[in-house]
Amino acid sequence: MSASDDTPKDIDARASEPMTLDVTPHIKQTIQRAAALSGVDDSVFTMNAAYQSALATIAAHERTSLAAADHAVFFEALDNPAQPTEQLKRAFARHKSRVLSK
């Protein structure tokens, strides 16, 4: 199941997988204060914050956003690729001689 398929029931389910986290006293106090202000215990606060950060990190690596000018250049390069340079040809030849592909 991917994170984007999570339902509230999945997210709110009782935790069954332990994780250990060592932090400095300052970080622990900050997390405990933020958790108290949010009305949850520090474990729930930390889990939710880590989970949201994990989702954002995954999304940033799975999605590419381009500005309008970059979008046009990108698709132009796809539609009309440049001819390979001699340097690129040599690099492919080196790769072919060094890497066994199955």
Give whole-number Cα distances, 66 to 69, 71, 74, 80, 100, in Å: 8, 5, 9, 19, 35
The structure tokens 């698709």 sit at: 75
Give the pLDDT band of residue 98 (cuts 50, 70, 90).
very high
The pLDDT value recorded for residue 61 is 92
Measured CA to CA, the distance from residue 34 to residue 30 in angstroms comes to 6
Measured CA to CA, the distance from residue 27 to residue 23 in angstroms comes to 6
Please state the domain extents for the chain: 3-62, 68-98
Q: Give the tens place of pLDDT for each residue, 75-89.
A: 999 999 999 999 999
Report the predicted TM-score, pTM, of the whole model to 2 decimal places. Answer: 0.56
Q: Give the tens place of pLDDT for each residue, 66-75.
A: 999 899 999 9
Give the pLDDT band of residue 23 (cuts 50, 70, 90).
very high
